[in-house]
Amino acid sequence: MNVVVALFRFFVVYLALMGTREIWRDGQVEDLLYFTNQSGILLAVVMAWAGIASLLRRTQPPAWFKGGVTLFLAITGLVAYFVLDPEAAGTPDLTIGLTSGQIEHQLNPVLAFLDFLLLDPHRRTRWRYAWWWLTYLLAYVTFTTIRGTVWDLDYPYGFIDLDAHGWGGLLLNVVIYGTGFYLLGLLIVLIDKRMPKRARFGTPVAGSS
């Protein structure tokens, strides 16, 4: 079963790499500005680590890292569904009959959560991790705001566009989204604590919390 688990994880790595190929293949490092791409690269890293660990019966990635990536992918999917404009009609397929948006915004978040739910050992996370994960998001908003104001460059997402919302609107959005993301992080921790300690499939070697 560990081999099957590893193959599943390597398939997720493939999807994550396909979704971010403009960065690592074409050298478009400016695309790293997008949270979706950052999450995709983190997903490729953690799934490659976890897949190799499953195959070789080595220690799995630490819970704070795996849980954080799961949260970031969940945020990617939720923001794409509820906030961003739909993918343009006629977008060409990227691989296996799916477009880039379908892979990055729909499939990868679901696969990341299923991996966390079914293939990971549980009861390793701590409540404080929700704060740790939130600092990454706050740092992201801080960076994009400084980038936009100092160098007068475009903002990656409309809901954190200082020019469109002003300081009051931006801070309000940060509070609203930040609160939602923090609660979502707490939900990730709660799910981990309520799940059986052993993984549902495979026999992973639990790493540090």
pLDDT digits (tens, 9 = 90+) for 1-18: 999 999 999 999 999 999
**Structural domain for 28, as ranges:** 2-85+98-194
For residue 24, tell me if it sits in a domain: yes
Residues 30 and 164: their CA atoms lie apart, in Å, by: 22
For residue 208, tell me if it sits in a domain: no
pLDDT for 208 equals 65
For residue 205, tell me if it sits in a domain: no
Candidate from 7-11, 42-46, 146-150, 204-208 with smallest mean pLDDT: 204-208
For residue 43, tell me if it sits in a domain: yes
Q: How far is CA 104 from CA 39, 64, 95, in A?
A: 9, 22, 12
DSSP assignment, residue 96?
T
The dihedral sign for the CA sequence 200, 202, 206, 209: negative
Residue 30 tokens read as: 């400016």
pLDDT for 202 equals 86
pLDDT digits (tens, 9 = 90+) for 72-102: 999 999 999 999 999 988 899 999 999 999 9
For residue 16, tell me if it sits in a domain: yes
**How many domains, the chain?**
1
Residue 188 has pLDDT above 90, yes or no: yes
DSSP assignment, residue 7?
H
For residue 90, tell me if it sits in a domain: no
Residue 134 tokens read as: 């939130």
pLDDT digits (tens, 9 = 90+) for 132-166: 999 999 999 999 999 999 998 999 999 999 999 99
For residue 91, tell me if it sits in a domain: no
For residue 102, tell me if it sits in a domain: yes
The dihedral sign for the CA sequence 198, 201, 203, 206: negative
How many angstroms from the chain centroid is the CA of residue 48? 14
